[in-house]
Amino acid sequence: MNRPAVFSGLLALFASIPLLATQYSIIEIPQLTRAAGLDDNGDVVGDDLFYHHNSGVVNRFSDANFLAGINDHGQIIGTASLGSPSAPAGIQANVWLVSGGEMLLGDGELSEGVAINNSGRAVGSTGDFHAQAHAALWRLKDNSTTALGTLVVNDPHGFIFDPGSAATAINVEGDVVGWSDALIVDAAGNPTAAATHAFRWHDGVMTDLGTLPGGVAYSVATGINDTGQIVGVSDIANGASHAFLYHRNRMVDLGDLANDPRLNSQADAINDRGETVGWSQVRLTADHSIAQRAFLYSSGRMLSLTFQIERKSPLSGKVRLTEATAINCRGWIAADGFDATTLQDHAYLLIPRDAERDHCAHRHH
């Protein structure tokens, strides 16, 4: 069938327009340049700052090296700087309370706190004398520490001198994900090389999640929701790294915004609806250079969040979102980006303009 030139031109125009999806209002968070954690109330942490959404107030924690996560009970996980600015004495995983007070986790320095669930269990890593990280789980109730171990069980050839690991996320059930040194084995089960693989830790057992098809040496799990879905990043056959979703014992490649397998992407977080956020490389139309943009992956589609900012927002067209780091059960997203005019870095909170989501109560365990 021959189409008129005008009709063909319209098809080309529509093909260049981003897919229609949920539109977001956007808030530039004062003072914050890097968002790391988000709770179901819309409160955000990052750098050494806590943003209280309902009041719009930003509080600074003077002893914080970095704030990484927050649960729905006002407990903030991160890493504290020990000593004084003029005489630093190391770093240690720490929990701050929004209501006031704090608690150092464990009894050793060189530890880092990364994530905390609503049951008061936190994860991160501890360090050893070789500056190697080891995945750790802390229970606030008794300030106990559980070493989660590594995926290296038997290494007769000494491929890895000091196996390391780190925990990156924990769900309400206490399942933990992260990365660990691992061994690549041949068909006979013999170790042949060292690797870094994503893991899931459940009831004392660490399981190797492997890599995407074609990948061998690298994968990291960065998020897990309360239904057990896991997201992260893995290498693929061509050497690039792609965002993945691990569900029902299968790792699925989420691709990238440009639909170009040579470009990289990474998933950072997932909520209980399965909505996933992270970053992807893209090719800019102007000069075909490669840039990084924040994405939302939902219902089998990956969308650039920069294009989903509602047009009536004063920031529409003025912001470039480079990475979405957290998403809560209401679909609110914490993201990093920059002002396209000044090139200044900022953190942002994106709020969907579709039907309000109220079913978050089940997460408050």
In a domain, 196, yes or no: no
The reply to whether 122 and 243 lie within a common domain is no
Residue 313 CA to residue 220 CA, distance in Å, equals 36
Q: At 4, which amino acid appears?
A: P
Tell me which residue range forms the domain holding 149.
Answer: 61-168
Cα–Cα nearest to 103, from 73, 142, 57: 142
Any domain includes 13:
no
Tens of pLDDT along the chain (365 residues)? 344 343 333 333 333 334 446 899 999 999 999 999 999 999 999 999 999 999 999 999 999 999 999 999 999 999 999 876 554 568 999 999 999 999 999 877 789 999 999 999 999 999 876 678 999 999 999 999 999 999 998 766 667 778 899 999 999 999 999 999 998 877 877 777 889 999 999 999 999 999 999 998 999 999 999 999 999 999 999 999 999 999 999 999 999 999 999 999 999 999 999 999 999 999 998 888 999 999 999 999 999 999 999 999 999 999 999 999 999 999 999 999 999 999 999 999 999 987 556 556 555 55
CA-to-CA distance for 151 and 148, rounded, in angstroms? 10
pTM metric for this prediction:
0.90
| Statement to judge: residues 161 and 267 lie in one domain | no
| CA dist 124 → 43, 102, 121, 178, 285 (Å) | 21, 17, 11, 9, 40
Q: Are residues 345 and 236 in the same domain?
A: yes
Contact 203/228 with Cβ under 8 angstroms?
no
Q: Answer yes or no: is 232 within a domain.
A: yes
Alpha-carbon separation of residue 328 from 235, 276, 280, 292, 309 (angstroms): 27, 10, 20, 22, 18
Domain shared by 266 and 250, yes or no: yes
Q: Is residue 6 part of a domain?
A: no
Secondary structure of 101-130 in HEC code, one letter for each residue = CEEECCCCCCCEEEEECCCCEEEEEEECCC
Same domain (yes/no): 93, 138 = yes
Domain final position from 168, 201, 224: 168
Same domain, 329 and 244: yes
- Torsion (CA) 34, 37, 42, 48 in degrees, nearest 10: -50
Are residue 236 and residue 346 in the same domain, yes or no?
Answer: yes
Q: What is the pLDDT of residue 294?
A: 98
Q: Is residue 198 part of a domain?
A: no
Structural domain count, the chain = 2
Element (H, E) at 46: strand 44-46
Same domain, 162 and 38: no
